[in-house]
Structure 1
């Protein structure tokens, strides 16, 4: 009598490997799509943040009759004055924090305020959303810089300020924006924890023609280098501490300039570190600086190939990094007499 042998159902090794390979291919195909959807969501949230900041500026104007100054400098107090971002706190749903702050006292003495992260000031695509601690001081980054103009930011010790949307000691009103609020950038993206060079002094009032020229000048004039890589907390040049203090009004912390187009690599260098892509402030605004403040603080983002900015009328624009430099500079000037329609 024959015995029947039934074969146990199951996968062979080859079949299993084929299934795994198919799954891997599907994951590889789907992952970019998932990442694209997530980036689109982050970009939309970023746009909302920028729009809300301009709404806050307009609410400030309604209450005080002018846009907030980029800083208040009396020629006596060295630093410590508060930023635009601090002045509009009540209008970005941060009134309780605003009530905690004393804007008549230096922010250096108020870590309970300066060390607070403000969601609307942070881009969800920026990987360096982290507190900066320096001794007793605590600070939190910012990802949206005010428009300080094209190059000439501030004439020490008491001004005037630059040609951008906001100025130090300024009380700009609607009538000051002769190019139109719909043609003038208010805020644009910047990267948190940006390397920068400061206090080289003795620079020309002529706006640089290229990022290479800024790099060579910054190295020759002995400015102090702060970090060599984005997000660097410690290194040969210390912290890459640009745009890590939302309370600080100085342009390398809460502003940007249209010296160069968005995402331009600017190879700055100075004492304490090798050349790095970063920002440049030849003489920080405040009483200890006697030279005019010229700054190349580039608008940068972590969105691929572009940055997002918001105009003073609240319109949010995505600006490609290949935009013509002259157009970008005209967009940053409030009253140059050459209004351009933002692409």
Structure 2
């Protein structure tokens, strides 16, 4: 009799009640909520490490370029004739940027050799998606959805056949405007501009105290709708002209207290700094490649004077810790 009672009671005791099931589900939910931020942080750490590696490779590439040509790559050049009359709109053309010039030094020799640098690049050439120029944290599509190859301006309504593969890295123009001629002799100049041809001796402040590359994501954008613009491209400047924008390949920093509110690191969406300056999807700042090839993380809370000193190649600024 006892044996039969035990057989009748055991199945009932072995089952979960509704309350117990709900408690288990609640516990699992709490554990997931606790673990999810940690998983996300681990993923971002891996993405940031990959981005850092990309920027180190770019730093190595410009040094190898210098070893080969005794100068650093130009920010961008008009195809065929660097002394072209930019005031004549008939001479505006798709111009090659620093990203195209360093292709042989990032294991893209075949692509480099297939391009004719005496003629404007085409959309087909510009659509080669190169992981070396892409930060894994950037959620934007492989083709920059703001720029197109037929004009240096933005137009979100152009078909993808006119788009260019994105880049998340731009060369430092200094605290100068990216919308004008670049002067090597200016104390506000950085490392790249139209026809720039720097050598090691031109880094008066030292290569370890000068930013060479910085980040630009496709999330911090200016404007909205058709006029929204952001990110960068690796191949160069579409329909380049002298006083026109070269934000496609160059980025600038604030040079004064007033500019620090216009071009802060990680400028708010909808501002000029969002597409002319530097920004990233890494929390708290951006990664930068210095002239010596090293990569550092530049906090968005760094004082503007320190950032400006790092952006300028020869201003003699004494830099503190950063």
TM-score, normalising length: structure 2: 0.79
The answer for the alignment partner of 1:253 in structure 2 is 248
The answer for the alignment partner of 1:141 in structure 2 is 166
The answer for the alignment partner of 2:208 in structure 1 is 182
The answer for the alignment partner of 1:6 in structure 2 is 9
Query: Which of 265, 269, 276 is matched with 2:268 structurally?
Result: 265
1:173 aligns with 2:212: no
Superposed, 1:102-181 pairs within 5 Å as: 102-107=116-121, 110-131=122-143, 132=145, 134-135=158-159, 136-153=161-178, 155-156=180-181, 160=183, 163-181=189-207
- Bigger helix share: 2
From the CA coordinates, give the structure whose radius of gyration is larger. Answer: 2
Superposed, 1:33-48 pairs within 5 Å as: 33-48=38-53
| CA 1:63–1:310: 2 relative to 1, 3 Å | same
Q: CA deviation at 1:111?
A: 2.3
Where structure 1 has 5 or more consecutive residues not aligned to the other structure, the ranges are 197-226, 229-234, 267-275, 281-295
Q: CA deviation at 1:139?
A: 0.6
The answer for the alignment partner of 1:215 in structure 2 is none
Give the whole-Å Cα distance in 2 for the aligned partners of 1:154 and 1:124: 28
Where structure 2 has 5 or more consecutive residues not aligned to the other structure, the ranges are 79-83, 149-157, 238-244, 255-262
Query: Which of 297, 315, 321 is matched with 1:336 structurally?
Result: 315
| CA 1:86–1:339: 2 relative to 1, 3 Å | farther
SS in 1 for 2:170: strand
- Contact 2:168–2:233 (CA<8 Å) still a contact in 1? no
Q: CA deviation at 1:64?
A: 0.8
SS in 2 for 1:242: coil
RMSD of aligned Cα (Å): 2.3
Query: Which of 60, 85, 99 is matched with 1:75 structurally?
Result: 85
TM-score, normalising length: structure 1: 0.75
Q: CA deviation at 1:194?
A: 5.2
- Contact 2:170–2:232 (CA<8 Å) still a contact in 1? no
- Contact 2:168–2:216 (CA<8 Å) still a contact in 1? yes
Runs of 4+ in 1 over 6 A off after TM superposition: none
Count of aligned residue pairs for this structure pair: 277
Q: CA deviation at 1:171?
A: 1.4
Superposed, 1:180-259 pairs within 5 Å as: 180-192=206-218, 195-196=221-222, 227-228=223-224, 235=225, 237-238=226-227, 240-249=228-237, 251-259=246-254
1:50-84 deviation line (CA, Å, top 9, x unaligned): 11001000111111110111112422431311010
The answer for the alignment partner of 1:277 in structure 2 is 271
- Contact 1:69–1:169 (CA<8 Å) still a contact in 2? yes
Give the whole-Å Cα distance in 1 for the aligned partners of 2:180 and 2:31: 59
Q: CA deviation at 1:26?
A: 0.7
Give the whole-Å Cα distance in 2 for the aligned partners of 1:35 and 1:88: 34
- Contact 1:331–1:342 (CA<8 Å) still a contact in 2? no
